[in-house]
A and B are shown apart, each in its own frame.
Chain A
Amino acid sequence: MLYTRFYIHALLLQEVNALSYDLPRLIPDKDFKVPSACGVSGIMNTSGKRFSGNMIVESMALMRERGNGLGAGYAAYGIYPELKDLYCFHMLYDSDLDKKNAEEYIKDHYEIIESEPIPTRKNPHIKEVHILWRYFLKPKFIPEDMSEEDFVVSTVMFINEKINGAFVMSSGKNMGVFKGVGFPEDIADFYRIDEYKGYIWTAHNRFPTNTVGWWGGAHPFGILDWTVVHNGEISSYGINRRFLEAYGYKCTLMTDTEVVAYLVDLFMRRFGYSPQLTAKILAAPLWKDIDLMPEEERKLYTALRMNYGGALLNGPFAIIVANNNMMMGLNDRIKLRPLVAATKDDFLYIASEESAIRVVCPEPDEVWAPKAGDPVVGVLKSARKTQVVLEGENG
């Protein structure tokens, strides 16, 4: 094992791109927490108009420098309109046996409406190491004390934790996650991203500081229809994980992105908090600012920090969170990672670099760098309760 590691390392030093050709199995980062730096991008059409994945691929390709070919991925919303009421599981399997095991478990709890391989295209830079499969599912039997979503979450937790060699990439309706080891444009080509149309796309380009060979470790990370792409390192991971355990979430992947996904699921879906409020928990205002707030507000923010201190995300990060109805960009409390936002008509763009926006939208109506801890939120027009369109620029 030791020898293998060394061998891989030496090879990587010589030529990163050689990775995809002829390597022995790399170290799966399932078992290690891998700090990584990255590029992120998100594009949303707030009217719900679907557009091709080409746009996000172009935006990501520009930020090639932000990754090192060891991970990239895309989350797409609105891609399965014909089956939009079914839970779509995108799966990674290590072997046929693992697939059989997982399918047995799935069959026990879900009606499998469709089951097919995820369509791929041969790409010289991508070596397919996993079996990629997707299922469209309808829950069969939901325990009385559980909501349907909680049931799906528990299924995902079970598969990821207990069934070796099986991993759920995404588990939402009318959406999916496509990810793997490679540069973003290669991964896009491999997964035939250009053939899908969605109204929200988020993407990620990875620069892990460790060798990784396991595709599940790439971003976006997804649970239900939540996806998270993340540039940064969560120094509070140790306590975030333990905080989540109290609410029944098991962090099995040792990636800090996983805790972000579970935290937004907890606060936004289970507790029903707005994206804005959730952002103020994950990137809480400083005490010195809270102390100056009017009384009601001070009470609220004090209570949030007091009660949800274990959910505070510390360390540098820029994240883009999305679900079927919205997309949110968020920076850490002192803005230690870049994040830029822009709007053009009914499009919202969020990316690590302004250039990644301008390459697909040369003349945006507005471009701004969101302040530390201030969320940029785009909500689908059909899901909006209020007339508030975009928030962030002025706090």
Chain B
Amino acid sequence: MRVCSYGANFYDENANRVYTENTKCVGCHFCEAICPTEAITVRKNDFDIRPLAHWTPEHLIGIMKQAETGGVLLTSMGNDRPYFSYFDRIVLNASQVTNPSIDPLREPMEIRTYIGRKEEKLEIEEDEDGTVKLKTEIAPQLKLEVPVMFTAMSYGSISLNAILSLARAARTVGTFFNTGEGGLPKELREFKDNMIVQVASGRFGVSADYLNAGSAVEIKIGQGAKPGIGGHLPGEKVTEPISETRMIPVGTDALSPAPHHDIYSIEDLRQLIYAIKEATRYEKPVGVKIAAVHNVAPIAAGAVRAGADYIVIDGIRGGTGAAPKITRDHVGIPIEFAVAVVDQRLREEGIRHMASIVVAGGIRNSADVIKAIALGADAVYIGTAALISLGCHLCQTCYLGKCNWGIATQDPKLTKRLNPEIGARRAANLLRAWAHEIKEILGGMGINAIESLRGNREVLRGVGLHEYELKLLGIKPAGEAW
């Protein structure tokens, strides 16, 4: 019973037995998973509060908590409200007769992806003797062997062992992880070739050295879980090593302001992008991450014109280490719409080639990846799925810093539970498995390179969607031929 950091199990000396305090259990299933005799089962506890349709227990408990504390309700991980999932209303195509499907185990199947600025036209010199020479200087790119990256999760919000797991997995598979707004612990320096460093509004740990420590720099404007507000690392998680990397005192809340205080408009964003490009000698792509909000398409177009080499769009399902529940649950738009309208808008403006699109926010499996790419993404970011591969059971209490799985905590007793060797293997396995599945689906479509899937909305069909939704997604209804 020492196992539970939330104290849900306790030992009564007098009675000489173990009791469970149900209300303390967050449902992380850790005790259940490690119990050698399989004596523990974590089950849903039927609630006393009447489950009314409008006044659900969730609302009642929220009101009770707020009546007691007068505070904002905190939560963690992605939006769990039963909003409509458009991914689940989109189906994929496959070849029959007129176009042979391709077996990815026998034929080449290419899913390599480059993230960064592309050219509208390549200048190429072709000599009379047949030698061909590229004259255009190509902008710096990130090379992904699998079009899936690990999204920004800071050192602080998750443990070093969790980050190391993802970093090693990224290196093994040939993709990238993102430092988040947590600065750079020295243990990550060796992962330069697979690392994206983030610059957010708190500027924690940002220095010229930091900007050059990875392969790309990402400016975080917003996050899908909490569009419009800043970051919050509770003081409980700011331990000695965290305080060192973030350059703030131990035990203080690390608060990132809602806006960047040097970005009050798009021209300021341009200045920051170019300041970073200068600082990194134009050798690294600079990306901009925004939350998917109503106006996402023009905002993304503005960021591209401001010089962003890639745009990250984080949808309403995006995860977080800590966010006000009211924001997480109610602000933002589904990522499916966001990617569709951003891709279309950039194409209409003739600037789609100027930046790659990376999509984040609730990507659950390889089908979501394929659908996102067919809607127009170049690659996707996963956060929640990556943490689940490390053991997370989505108990949504990361903000307490007591994660039994050693992921979202800085308590050394808990973090040592996560072995980065094993974690790396599991996270890498996940990406490999998805890569296999993506290839399988591509082969079924008779396509052998992912660039022929990217933005190819003809491979998608909507089921049970309204006409205006189909129009926004740029797809046809199921049953309609090409």
Contact = CB atoms under 8 A, between A and B. Distances in A.
Interface string A17-42: 00000000000000011111100000
Contacts of A233: 98-99, 446
A312 to B, nearest CB: 5
B138 A306 contact: yes
B120, B124, B456: residue with the most chain A Cβ atoms closer than 10 Å:
B456
Interface string B441-454: 00001111101111
B39 interface: no
B121 interface: yes
Contacts of A334: 102, 107-108, 448
Interface in B103-145: 107-108, 110, 112, 114, 118-122, 124, 126, 128-130, 132-134, 136, 138, 141
A314 B129 contact: no
A32, A237, A246, A277: residue with the most chain B Cβ atoms closer than 10 Å:
A246
B455 A239 contact: yes
A310 B347 CA distance: 12
12 contacts: A34-B482, A232-B99, A237-B456, A239-B454, A274-B126, A286-B110, A304-B122, A306-B114, A306-B138, A306-B141, A312-B452, A315-B99
A119 interface: no
Interface stretch (A174-182, A295-303, A348-356): A295-303
A300 B108 contact: no
Interface in A205-233: 209, 232-233
Given A37-B98, A334-B102, A334-B108, A315 B451 contact: no
Contacts of B114: 306
Interface of B is mostly: loop
Interface of B: 95, 97-100, 102, 107-108, 110, 112, 114, 118-122, 124, 126, 128-130, 132-134, 136, 138, 141, 347, 350, 352-353, 445-449, 451-459, 481-482
A260 to B, nearest CB: 14
Contacts of A232: 99
A287 interface: yes
B99 A316 contact: yes
B448 to A, nearest CB: 6
Interface residues of A, number: 49
A33 B134 contact: no
Given A238-B456, A246-B347, A287-B110, 11 more contacts: A35-B99, A36-B98, A238-B459, A246-B353, A254-B482, A273-B126, A303-B119, A304-B122, A306-B141, A316-B100, A333-B449
A382 interface: no
Contacts of B118: 306-307
Contact of A33 (B107, B124, B129, B481): B481
B99, B129, B452, B481: residue with the most chain A Cβ atoms closer than 10 Å:
B452
A36 B138 CA distance: 39
Contact of A314 (B112, B447, B457): B447
Contacts of B100: 316, 336
A307 B353 contact: yes
Contacts of A32: 481-482
Interface string A113-149: 0000000000000000000000000000000000000
Given A33-B481, A233-B98, A237-B482, A310 B455 contact: yes
Given A305-B451, A314-B447, A314-B452, A35 B98 contact: yes
Nearest to A210: B481
B138 A314 contact: no
